[in-house]
Structure 1
Amino acid sequence: MPKWLKRTGYVLLAFFILLNVMMASQAYYFTHFFPLTEKPATTAQMSGMAKWKALLLGMPFYKSRVVDSLNLPHQNITIATADGQELAAWLIPKDSALGTIILFHGHGSNKSALIPEEKAFYTMGYRVLAVDFQAHGNSTGTACTIGYHEVADVKAAYDYVKAHTQQPIILYGISLGAATILQAMQQYALIPDKIILEMPFGTLQKAAEGKLRTMHLPAEPLAAALTFWGGIEQGFWAFNLKPEDAAAAIHCPVLLQWGLQDQRVTQNETNTIFKNLASHHKEMMIYALSHHQSLLQNEPAKWGKTVSDFLYKQY
């Protein structure tokens, strides 16, 4: 074999190994949360070497701190999951409630990030249960599986409400929360009365592609490697996590919402999920001025009318 061909082979092998080391490290940091003992440094505060290390190998995610600025009477409760986690949640009671809305936040967030939505649903006449996913907020755990184990959190919260009321139950989720609702409803055959989904990702690999886009890195082949290592490190086959396929198990009324400026979740993903929803009562609303963010906070009038119309509509 010619020497140049051997050298080329060694270079390609070294590149392949380096790429996988990088993606394995990125996947680990993306799925593990560390205790917030002090304020982490921003990229602006990092040295040049630290910035390169963060870009290539990832940087730690810290548990986001719950800030209780709800300003509504509420109870701190704990909900046990089937896989041994303890979920911290706020229960906001409501006299003569129309039903209960259970809220699930996005990756790296917690229930206090949804306070505007919690207040809005309360004002619309609903009892509210806002949950910290495992490894988030004040819940137990350190690892996030981007929906694989978090389905147990959705089921536990749903079962908790089901055991305490016979009134309608509505599930609301944003980003990771929305995708996990789809997965949980398929896996456990949950039957809420309605669901509201905001910006769910189509598959875990597409979620990885969205993360890479925000980092200005090429999706291929990095997304596949990131998905592979994320699943291997957490003990499951990540390529099988497909909320867009789980949508076929959804038969209750659905409101699917998405921001036109969203760089993390594409319009094709959103359209696929909407098409796959088996419900005969499904609606999609696009927010022209919003990206991957709280649609309520960015376009409050539109969100308020769309959501209230959906909730009050009789099917």
Structure 2
Amino acid sequence: MLAKLKQAALFIKRRPKRAVVVLMLVGFVVLNLLAYIHAHAMTHFVEGGERTPAPESLSWTQKVAVLATGVRLARPANHSTPNDFELQFTQHSFETSDGTNLSGWHIAADDSRGVCLFFHGYGAAKSSLLPEAGQFQRWGYDAFLVDFRGSGDSAGDVTTIGYLEADDVASAVEYVRANFADKPLWLYGRSMGSAAILRAIAEYDLKPSGVILECPFDRLLSTAQNRFAAMGLPGFPAAQLLVFWGGAQHGYSGFEHNPVDYAANVRCPVLVLGGEADPRVTQPQLRAVFDKLAGPKQIHIFEEVGHAAYLPAAPHTWEATVRSFLEAPQ
């Protein structure tokens, strides 16, 4: 070992320029390898075990371990059902255009005024939106909650942060329109679910009656950079490499997966909800999406709320804001 170190030192001394080039190449390869590992870990769910905690809650030693090995993303499960909220429901199963089997819950309302489809966030499942769905049902709207591919009771073990999930949104809309009465149709998304909705409207020409978006990120690159910022680390060039390899592993360009661009194709009424203290979707990023929306739009920022569900954080404000939007003349 000592002899090899001496040989390396001698090589650096005799050929310093070549040594610098070699070190740069080694560093480039190592950095790309780490980015590939992280991209795979962040888009592939694993069975069992616990999910890696949020970056803000990790110690420095834990952060170093995560940087070396990547996060552990446990496959999201439904930890409750509508029955736990005293809501009657029916179970549904349908396929996307690429043959992925998806699971949905339908919660019917008496004298229904319409149906709202609910789409969950990254690393979650449809049960995470049961409180919101229950409130819609009490207001007289059917609720249809969907597990994205890889989550809950749906097939697969992969997430693409809203890219392929747009197909899930379009397939769910098609299924609901084919199997339920012709009623006004609303879409409700949280974080990744919001991104998937925006892409689905842009790519599949969906025409819902209205859309409610919780904390939609503006660009996939932005959300990657925000994650590094949460760990107290510089985002460049790691965030760029993470986005590149994440897209490459799933057959798309991560740099073109930008809800802010999709938003320009959305002409139906939209309510955008955001958290004032959200480190994952900053106020400028949220406003960028809102500004690009082409149709009637409203925005509400919840004070002192981070990247979290707004109904439990501020129930009275959420109820007043959402109900007012639903009942406004469209």
- TM-score tier by shorter-chain length is over 0.9
CA pair 55-70 structure 1, distance change in 2 beyond 3 A? farther
2:6 alignment counterpart = none
1:107 aligns with 2:113: no
The percent identity for this pair of structures is: 35
CA pair 262-10 structure 1, distance change in 2 beyond 3 A? same
Give the whole-Å Cα distance in 1 for the aligned partners of 2:104 and 2:269. 25
Comparing 70-79 with 254-263, greater Cα deviation is found at 70-79
Task: Say which SS state the counterpart of residue 77 (structure 1) adopts.
Answer: strand
1:119-151 residue CA offsets vs partner (Å, 9 max, x unmatched): 111112110000000001110011111122111
CA pair 228-166 structure 1, distance change in 2 beyond 3 A? same
Task: Say which SS state the counterpart of residue 246 (structure 2) adopts.
Answer: helix
Q: Give how far 1:5 is off.
A: 2.1
Give the whole-Å Cα distance in 2 for the aligned partners of 1:42 and 1:231. 24
2:285 alignment counterpart = 269
- After TM superposition, which residue ranges in structure 1, 4 or more long, deviate above 6 angstroms? 40-43, 46-51
1:79 aligns with 2:70: no
**Count of residue pairs the alignment pairs up:** 311
1:76-121 residue CA offsets vs partner (Å, 9 max, x unmatched): 1112111111111110011201100100000110011111111111
1:165-215 residue CA offsets vs partner (Å, 9 max, x unmatched): 211000000000001100000000000000000101111111211222233
2:74 alignment counterpart = 62
1:16 aligns with 2:16: no
Kept in 1, the 8 Å contact 2:275–2:303? The answer is yes
Picking from 223, 238, 241, the partner of 2:254 is 238
Give the whole-Å Cα distance in 2 for the aligned partners of 1:74 and 1:203. 36
Comparing 49-58 with 61-70, greater Cα deviation is found at 49-58
1:212 aligns with 2:228: yes
CA pair 42-268 structure 1, distance change in 2 beyond 3 A? closer
Q: Give how far 1:41 is off.
A: 7.9
1:304 aligns with 2:319: yes
Counterpart of 1:125 in structure 2: which amino acid?
Answer: G
Give the whole-Å Cα distance in 1 for the aligned partners of 2:290 and 2:63. 39
1:151 aligns with 2:194: no
Task: Say which SS state the counterpart of residue 85 (structure 2) adopts.
Answer: coil
Kept in 2, the 8 Å contact 1:23–1:57? The answer is no
Q: Give how far 1:8 is off.
A: 2.0
CA pair 8-109 structure 1, distance change in 2 beyond 3 A? same
Give the whole-Å Cα distance in 2 for the aligned partners of 1:267 and 1:131. 28
Kept in 2, the 8 Å contact 1:213–1:264? The answer is no
Give the whole-Å Cα distance in 2 for the aligned partners of 1:289 and 1:50. 28
Give the whole-Å Cα distance in 1 for the aligned partners of 2:315 and 2:148. 25
Comparing 51-60 with 161-170, greater Cα deviation is found at 51-60
CA pair 245-51 structure 1, distance change in 2 beyond 3 A? closer
Kept in 1, the 8 Å contact 2:276–2:305? The answer is yes
Comparing 77-86 with 55-64, greater Cα deviation is found at 55-64
Q: How does 1:1-315 map to 2 (within 5 A)?
A: 3-36=15-48, 38-39=49-50, 52-67=64-79, 68=81, 69-163=84-178, 164-279=180-295, 281-315=296-330
Contiguous gaps of at least 5 residues in structure 1: none
Q: Give how far 1:42 is off.
A: 6.8
Counterpart of 1:254 in structure 2: which amino acid?
Answer: V
Kept in 1, the 8 Å contact 2:38–2:71? The answer is yes
Counterpart of 1:287 in structure 2: which amino acid?
Answer: F
Give the whole-Å Cα distance in 2 for the aligned partners of 1:5 and 1:80. 58
TM-score when scaled to structure 2? 0.89
Counterpart of 1:184 in structure 2: which amino acid?
Answer: A
Higher Cα Rg, which structure: 2
RMSD: 2.1
Task: Say which SS state the counterpart of residue 87 (structure 1) adopts.
Answer: strand
Kept in 1, the 8 Å contact 2:35–2:238? The answer is yes
